[in-house]
Amino acid sequence: MTSRMETAPRLVDIELVRHWLYWGLAWLTVFDGSQCGGAAAHATLTDDGRKGYAAGDHQSPVKRVIIWSTRPCRWTSRLSGGARQHIEQGAVTGGYKADRATVIKLLNEALATEIICVLRYKRHYFMASGINAQGIAAEFAEHANQELAHIDALAQRIVQLDGEPDFSPVELVQRAHSEYVAAGSLVDMMREDLVAERIAIESYRDMISYIEHDDPTTRRVLEEILAVEEEHADDLSALLKGADAGH
User: Among residues 157 and 232, whose Cβ is nearest to Fe ion?
Assistant: 232
Please, what's the b/e burial string for 143-180 (b: 16 or more CB within 10 A of its CB; e: otherwise)? bbebbbebbebbbebbeebbbebbeeeeebeebbbbeb
Q: How far is the CB of 189 from Fe ion (least distance, A)?
A: 14
Pick 219 or 232: Cβ nearer Fe ion: 232
Min separation Cβ 27 and Fe ion, Å: 57
Amino acid at 205: R
- Shortest distance in whole angstroms from residue 140 CB to Fe ion: 11
Name the site residues for Fe ion (rule: CB under 5 A): 114, 147, 150, 197, 229, 232
Nearest to 179 by CA among 149, 150, 203, 199: 199
Q: Which is nearer to Fe ion, 22 or 140 (CB)?
A: 140
Judged by beta carbon, residue 124 or residue 150, the one nearer Fe ion is 150
- Residue 197: other Cβ atoms inside 10 A: 24
Q: Which is nearer to Fe ion, 29 or 218 (CB)?
A: 218
For 199, residues 6+ apart whose C-beta sits below 8 A from its C-beta are 113, 177, 178
Spatial distance between the Cα atoms of 103 and 109, rounded to a whole number of angstroms: 10
CB of 167 to Fe ion, least distance (A): 16
Q: Give the closest residue to 167 by CA, choosing from 207, 116, 120.
A: 116
- The CB-of-236 to Fe ion minimum distance in angstroms stands at 9
For residue 114, the minimal CB distance to Fe ion (Å) is 5
Decide whether 192 or 197 has the Cβ nearer to Fe ion. Answer: 197
Spell out the residues 6+ positions from residue 211 whose beta carbon is closer than 8 angstroms to its own. Answer: 98, 103, 218, 219, 222
